[in-house]
């Protein structure tokens, strides 16, 4: 059965990871917006990637609304966010948030991977700039010691008006290895 790497990306970092993964796997690369529910039927393995926005995965409704179609497939989810996923506590918080927002039947089927994206002020539209302004104003009121590493990255990026980019091709290694193992078990 074929493998699809499907992604939803606002500023390009999830797209970058999706391209790297599809290249390593020789899989079909598809933007989520171009995928119809019926298209999912043609794949035995689906790798879905989405940027994190307020703790939610961009475009994940493609899976949540089509559980009947994807329930019997090998499913891999990767998220891309500013949060530093080399810190186990951050991963724990992220996963417990996903567990609360995703349907249990889907959450249990997914293998999860988390990658770092960035903050792309130069590309940001009005609404996201406004959200970031509110968030950074709130963070500035907190004592330095209370800030997490990702809070600081956000403040550095927004506060100094600079783009930050933590994308790292090497991070996809474990996901690629797990997908290859799943493909050979089919």
Q: What is the binding site for ligand FMN (CB under 6 A)?
A: 9-14, 51-55, 58, 80-83, 117-119, 128, 131-132
Name the residue nearer to ligand FMN (CB basis): 20 or 118. Answer: 118
Name the residue nearer to ligand FMN (CB basis): 42 or 159. Answer: 159
- Give φ, ψ of 65 to 5 degrees: -85, -5
Residue matched to tokens 């002020």:
121
**C-beta of 15: minimal distance to ligand FMN in Å?**
6
**C-beta of 4: minimal distance to ligand FMN in Å?**
18
Among candidate residues 86, 158, 172, the one with its CA nearest the CA of residue 118: 158
Coil/strand/helix, residue 73: coil
Name the residue nearer to ligand FMN (CB basis): 93 or 183. Answer: 93
**C-beta of 163: minimal distance to ligand FMN in Å?**
10
**C-beta of 109: minimal distance to ligand FMN in Å?**
23
Mode of pairing for the β-strands spanning 164-165 and 118-119: antiparallel
**C-beta of 37: minimal distance to ligand FMN in Å?**
22
Q: Which residue, judged by CB position, is nearest to ligand FMN in the bound state?
A: 117
Name the residue nearer to ligand FMN (CB basis): 8 or 182. Answer: 8
Name the residue nearer to ligand FMN (CB basis): 8 or 46. Answer: 8
**C-beta of 38: minimal distance to ligand FMN in Å?**
25
For the chain, the C-alpha Rg in angstroms (whole number) is: 17
Distance CA 102, CA 106 (A): 7
Name the residue nearer to ligand FMN (CB basis): 32 or 83. Answer: 83
Distance CA 131, CA 136 (A): 9
Contact between residue 90 and residue 153 where contact means Cβ atoms under 8 Å apart: no
Contact between residue 175 and residue 45 where contact means Cβ atoms under 8 Å apart: no
Distance CA 50, CA 6 (A): 9
């Amino acid at each position: 059965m074929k493998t699809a790497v499907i992604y939803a990306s606002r500023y390009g970092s999830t797209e970058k990871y999706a391209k790297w993964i599809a290249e390593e796997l020789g899989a079909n690369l598809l933007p989520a917006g171009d995928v119809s529910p019926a298209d999912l039927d043609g794949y035995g393995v689906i790798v879905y990637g989405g940027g994190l926005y307020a703790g939610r995965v961009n475009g994940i409704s493609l899976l949540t609304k089509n559980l009947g179609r994807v329930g019997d497939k090998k499913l891999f989810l990767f998220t891309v966010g500013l949060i530093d996923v080399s810190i186990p506590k951050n991963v724990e918080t992220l996963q417990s948030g996903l567990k609360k927002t995703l349907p249990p039947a889907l959450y249990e089927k997914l293998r999860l991977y988390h990658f770092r994206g960035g903050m792309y002020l130069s590309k940001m539209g009005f609404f996201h700039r406004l959200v970031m302004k509110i968030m950074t104003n709130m963070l500035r009121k907190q004592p330095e010691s209370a800030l997490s590493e990702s809070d600081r990255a956000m403040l550095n990026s927004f506060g100094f008006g600079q783009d930050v980019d933590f994308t790292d091709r090497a991070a996809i290694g474990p996901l690629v290895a797990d997908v290859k193992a799943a493909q050979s078990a089919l």
